[in-house]
């Protein structure tokens, strides 16, 4: 996430907030680079792989913004941001193995560059380094992170197991992303406010905001996976489609009645029942889904979650940090266009 158009592209021009958040994010980057260093040079290379590939640093940014409602210079703020980002990065190494993804953030994934075993063990290494940083933040922070990690793993297991017979596939999917994405985003909001000494009601509000933004963020990724050419997401378009992982656009399509007057609708549904690892079938399914009303429906659902997150901010005092958090809602909306 680059510093353009105000604070990190969020349309906030406040100089003091920009200075504080920029300094915090720079400290996070330095701490991340230090955290992945190992006495074994090969581990340093593999652990640095995704850090050097860049990324939005959405979770550390949320930590920094939530900290503005207390003392943003408090000593636990930057380490907390490092913890959530290291945890997030570790999950990406594991996700790419499970998804057999060849690209991450516009670069070869770790499993593609090396192999699955190296990617999995590197993810484990990052989890261990996150735990080391976390230990210095106190027992309450350890408990919060442990609860979030349980939710994260539970979400991954739910995704792997799939919905139970007779259950609602869309409800199951929302449970999955609440665990896989919402949990860590909620911790980002909580850690930032808590470490900065914000009032308890603000800590709870910013936790809930983070959870809701996590859902909106993941749903925006679902839309991008179908609608983008890969430059925005840094991933190969239609990755989930190819792997047969049902995300919001496909789940919404499944819930819609067949349009008897549109042969493309029937063809798309037929393709979704087939093996889409075939390049020709995958390209056709991606083209048809991009034109299907289900994609627009998915966009509207994503915007609804972003607006719900925005509404949660209403009780906070008006200030540049609140405007920046509102700007994150707008950023989600822009990503789905």
pLDDT at 10: 61
pLDDT at 2: 38
Report yes or no on 297 lying in a domain.
Answer: yes
Report yes or no on 6 lying in a domain.
Answer: no
Report yes or no on 4 lying in a domain.
Answer: no
Report yes or no on 55 lying in a domain.
Answer: yes
Parent domain of 73: 13-336
225: CATH: 1.10.600.10
pLDDT at 232: 53
Report yes or no on 7 lying in a domain.
Answer: no
Report yes or no on 2 lying in a domain.
Answer: no
pLDDT at 6: 46
Report yes or no on 261 lying in a domain.
Answer: yes
pLDDT at 307: 94
3-state helix/strand/coil string of the chain: CCCCCCHHHCCCCCHHHHHHHHHHHHHHHHHHHHHCCCCCHHHHHHHHHHHHCCCCCHHHHHHHHHHCCCCCCCCCHHHHHHHHHHHHHHHHHHHHHHHCCCEECCEECHHHHCCHHHHHHHHHHHHHHHHHHHHCCCHHHHHHHHHHHHHHHHHHHHHHHCCCCCCCHHHHHHHHHHHHHHHHHHHHHHHHHHHCCCCHHHHHHHHHHHHHHHHHHHHHHHHHHHHCCCCCCCCCCCHHHHHCCCCHHHHHHHHCCCCCCCHHHHHHHHHHCCCCCCHHHHHHHHHHHHHCHHHHHHHHHHHHHHHHHHHHCCCCCCCHHHHHHHHHHHHHHHHHC
pLDDT at 86: 94
pLDDT along the chain (337 residues), means of 10: 46 82 93 88 79 80 96 96 93 72 63 73 88 95 95 91 89 94 96 97 98 93 83 67 88 91 92 91 94 94 94 96 92 76
Report yes or no on 180 lying in a domain.
Answer: yes
Domain count for the chain: 1
């Amino acid at each position: 996430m680059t510093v353009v158009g105000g604070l990190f592209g969020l349309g906030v021009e406040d100089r003091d907030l920009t200075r504080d958040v920029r300094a915090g994010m720079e400290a996070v980057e330095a701490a991340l680079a230090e955290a992945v260093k190992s006495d074994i040079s090969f581990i340093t290379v593999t652990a640095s792989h995704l850090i050097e590939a860049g990324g939005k640093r959405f979770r550390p940014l949320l930590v920094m913004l939530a900290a503005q409602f207390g003392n943003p210079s408090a000593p636990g703020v930057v380490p907390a941001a490092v913890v959530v980002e290291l945890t997030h990065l570790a999950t990406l190494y594991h996700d790419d193995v499970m998804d057999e993804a060849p690209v991450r953030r516009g670069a070869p994934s770790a499993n593609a560059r090396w192999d699955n075993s190296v990617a999995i063990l590197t993810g484990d290494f990052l989890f261990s380094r996150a735990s080391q940083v976390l230990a210095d933040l106190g027992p309450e922070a350890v408990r919060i992170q442990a609860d979030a990690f349980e939710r994260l793993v539970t979400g991954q297991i739910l995704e792997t197991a799939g919905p139970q017979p007779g259950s609602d596939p869309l409800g199951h999917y929302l449970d999955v992303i609440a665990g896989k994405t919402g949990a860590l985003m909620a911790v980002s909001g909580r850690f930032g406010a808590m470490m900065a000494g914000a009032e308890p009601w603000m800590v709870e509000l910013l936790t809930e905001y983070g959870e809701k933004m996590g859902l909106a963020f993941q749903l925006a990724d679902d839309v991008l996976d179908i609608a983008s050419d890969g430059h925005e997401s840094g991933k190969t378009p239609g990755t989930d489609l190819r792997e047969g992982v049902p995300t919001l656009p496909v789940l919404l399509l499944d819930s819609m009645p067949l349009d008897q007057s549109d042969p493309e609708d029937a063809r798309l549904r037929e393709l979704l029942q087939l093996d889409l690892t075939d390049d020709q079938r995958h390209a056709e399914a991606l083209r048809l889904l991009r034109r299907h009303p289900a994609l627009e429906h998915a966009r509207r659902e994503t915007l609804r979650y972003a607006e719900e997150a925005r509404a949660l901010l209403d009780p906070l005092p008006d200030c540049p940090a609140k405007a920046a958090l509102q700007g994150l809602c707008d950023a989600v909306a822009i990503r789905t266009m």
